[in-house]
Amino acid sequence: MNMKRNTSNEREHWGGSLGFIFAAAGSAIGLGNIWKFPYITGMNGGGVFILVYLFCIFLIGLPIMICEIAIGRHTQKNPLGAFLQLDKNNRLSRSFGTVFLLIGLGFFCFGKYGLGGVFSLIAVIVYYFGWGFVGLGGIFTGFLILAFYGTVGGWVTAYIFKGLFQQLNFETVEEASQVFNNFVASPTSVLPYQIVFMLLCAFVVWFGIKNGIELASKLLLPFLFILLIILILRGITLDGANKGIEFLVSPDFSKLTPEGVLVALGHAFFSLSLGMGCILTYGSYLDPSKNILSSSLNIVFLDTMVALMAGFAIFPAVFAMGMSPDAGPGLALQIMPLTFNSIGDHLGWLWSSLFFLLLSIAAWTSGISLLEVLVTSLIDEFKFSRHQAVMFSTVITTALGVLATVCCTDWSRLPWLEKALVALFGSTNNSMFDLLDNISCNYLLPLGGLGTSIFVGWIWGTHHAIAEIRRGSHQTVDVNFFTLLAGLKDDPNSQEKTHTMTLATVWGIFIRFITPICVIIAFLHAIGWLHFD
């Protein structure tokens, strides 16, 4: 086999644009789309939430995705290496380090030793790495996300078999939730599936970019679409399904809350795999001749379509069976088997198994992308071979994931850890699982996205980023925004550049101002410093 060795000057590349789009869409399409998106839509008013989410995806998610791909492709490096290479303004990052140090000392003065320690550590890292801190933080975030992602990956994998063995034929909501609660509270039942899930991710990453990730994504994604379409057809042909469809397509603006807007924004990051260097890493395997702008549009489009399709697979069935759309996180794992079982065609077990197969495949291609970030960083920065890096990363993330599984609903199995966290930080989340989820999604991803957009907009500079994006897409990037809106792109008379409002200009304005401001607002809300009521 002539698999290219991954040395720093000979980086493996995707087979083509399509390979990149498939892999990145595989990363983006995951539990976020099929498990989370439907239930947060159900809890936030249906159609109107979808509308807001679409705004967030296109106005904030898309610009940041373009940023990440541009950084990755320009540097051909992992997140840490990429930020280090582009960081030319050390003095500014040093002053950030001083700010962090002062905050840390402040916490020490108030007896908050845990937070004081964390901020002082950040200060040291910022002094040492400058803007590389954003990349390093991203790698760390990916490590945390993959740990608890493996737990949920284990659940959905196990549920395929539970379905096949007729263990999901529920009659009542209580029965469904009892089975689910007992299952997640029993590490010995979850761990084997979690380890299988992690090994499946490791298996694909082992074979590298073209023969591993690209091949797996090209095989799995079409299969995922077929499964989704089967489930949608099953759902919308049930009697009473139209109420579910109505719920999704008729926005009721009275149900729009400021809270819902911010949930939508946070989810846009998670769903598109942004804010931690995942798409950046995939971008580093992209050839300069490929079009970043159209690739990003394709990835965002596919991700959004699957989220919407998941809505259409789930809500018509939920409404047809008279269930409530706002069941929360249990929607997929409790309500769906119940719904399938109550269809009354005696094939409930089959529909359930297919549904969880769909979830597992989606989770698999996302888990792969999270693992690849760690692997590529170890290869680039520590000169590991790919196989060593895969083994090492899988072992450490599975180890942290085991803690999340053992401590999934409360701390009762690791009381010393809870005590230690409370002693250091004053309080902690309900469980290790919640802690990992909360820290990474509510804090680290928005901060990573903010760091990335500020870095590209103000440090590396939009002019350098645009130069990178132009390679392979100059025809698209320099199209006049208004000419495009008016449908006159191919009109020979509007070619002369009398207006300067090109797509590049629009993107630059977003990345420097609109995107960072929106993220700051969402972040302040997430940490409870900003209320809208």
Which 445-504 residues touch ligand TRP, going by CB under 6 A?
445
Helix (H, G, I), strand (E, B) or coil at 35: helix
Of 24-32, 157-165, 247-255, 285-293, the window that binds ligand TRP (rule: CB under 6 A) is 24-32
Task: Determine if 64 is a binding residue for ligand TRP (CB under 6 A).
Answer: no
Task: Determine if 72 is a binding residue for ligand TRP (CB under 6 A).
Answer: no
Q: CB of 291 within 8 A of CB of 313? A: no
Distance CA 398, CA 404 (A): 10
Residue selected from 20, 22, 25, 32 as contacting ligand TRP according to rule CB under 6 A = 32
Site size toward ligand TRP (CB under 6 A) is 17
Distance in Å, CB of 92 to ligand TRP, minimum: 26
Task: Determine if 278 is a binding residue for ligand TRP (CB under 6 A).
Answer: yes
Of 47-55, 74-82, 265-273, 339-347, the window that binds ligand TRP (rule: CB under 6 A) is 265-273
Q: Tell me the DSSP string of 351-389.
A: HHHHHHHHHHHHHHHHHHHHHHHHHHHHHHHH---HHHH
Of 275-283, 374-382, 397-405, 430-438, the window that binds ligand TRP (rule: CB under 6 A) is 275-283
Q: CB of 316 within 8 A of CB of 241? A: yes
Q: Give, as one character, the DSSP assignment of residue 456.
A: I
- The tokens 């529920």 sit on which residue? 170
Label residue 346 exposed, middle or buried (CB < 10 Å: 0-12, 13-18, 19+).
exposed
Distance CA 341, CA 369 (A): 34
Of 270-278, 415-423, 501-509, 511-519, the window that binds ligand TRP (rule: CB under 6 A) is 270-278
Residue selected from 27, 157, 298, 398 as contacting ligand TRP according to rule CB under 6 A = 27
Task: Determine if 145 is a binding residue for ligand TRP (CB under 6 A).
Answer: yes
Which 389-448 residues touch ligand TRP, going by CB under 6 A?
445
Cα–chain center distance at 363: 11
Distance in Å, CB of 338 to ligand TRP, minimum: 23
Distance in Å, CB of 262 to ligand TRP, minimum: 17
Residue number with CB closer to ligand TRP (336 or 445): 445
User: What pairs with residue 469 in β-bridges?
Assistant: none
Distance in Å, CB of 452 to ligand TRP, minimum: 12
Residue number with CB closer to ligand TRP (76 or 369): 369
Which residues contact residue 202 at a Cβ distance below 8 angstroms, ignoring those fewer than 6 apart? 371, 390, 391, 393, 394
Distance CA 135, CA 451 (A): 9
How many CB atoms neighbour CB 421 within 10 A? 18
Distance CA 225, CA 217 (A): 12
Distance in Å, CB of 392 to ligand TRP, minimum: 19
Of 29-37, 116-124, 165-173, 321-329, the window that binds ligand TRP (rule: CB under 6 A) is 29-37
Instruction: Name the strand (E) or helix (H) holding 213.
Output: none
* Amino acid identity at 260: G
Task: Determine if 31 is a binding residue for ligand TRP (CB under 6 A).
Answer: yes
Residue number with CB closer to ligand TRP (43 or 280): 280
Residue number with CB closer to ligand TRP (123 or 272): 272
Distance CA 516, CA 521 (A): 9
* CA-based nearest residue to 367, from 169, 148, 515: 148
Distance in Å, CB of 313 to ligand TRP, minimum: 16
Counting every residue, how long is the chain?
A: 533
Label residue 529 exposed, middle or buried (CB < 10 Å: 0-12, 13-18, 19+).
exposed
Site string for ligand TRP, 198-227 (x = CB under 6 A): ------------------------------
Alpha-helical runs (H) found in 240-327: 242-249, 258-271, 278-283, 292-320
Residue number with CB closer to ligand TRP (30 or 208): 30
Distance in Å, CB of 255 to ligand TRP, minimum: 24
Residue number with CB closer to ligand TRP (158 or 445): 445
Which 281-340 residues touch ligand TRP, going by CB under 6 A?
none
Question: Nearest-5° angle of CA 128, CA 132, CA 134?
Answer: 120
Q: CB of 27 within 8 A of CB of 365? A: yes
Distance in Å, CB of 519 to ligand TRP, minimum: 14
Residue number with CB closer to ligand TRP (27 or 352): 27
User: What pairs with residue 502 in β-bridges?
Assistant: 480
Residue selected from 107, 148, 180, 270 as contacting ligand TRP according to rule CB under 6 A = 270
* Amino acid identity at 185: A
* CA-based nearest residue to 285, from 466, 472, 73: 73
* CA-based nearest residue to 515, from 52, 43, 57: 57
Residue selected from 6, 33, 353, 405 as contacting ligand TRP according to rule CB under 6 A = 33
Of 70-78, 233-241, 267-275, 517-525, the window that binds ligand TRP (rule: CB under 6 A) is 267-275
Of 30-38, 177-185, 190-198, 479-487, the window that binds ligand TRP (rule: CB under 6 A) is 30-38
Residue number with CB closer to ligand TRP (25 or 379): 25
Alpha-helical runs (H) found in 110-172: 113-129, 132-164
Residue number with CB closer to ligand TRP (123 or 145): 145
Which 345-374 residues touch ligand TRP, going by CB under 6 A?
366, 369-370
Q: Give, as one character, the DSSP assignment of residue 502.
A: B
Which residues would be at the binding site for ligand TRP (CB under 6 A)? 27-28, 30-33, 145, 270-271, 273, 275-276, 278, 366, 369-370, 445
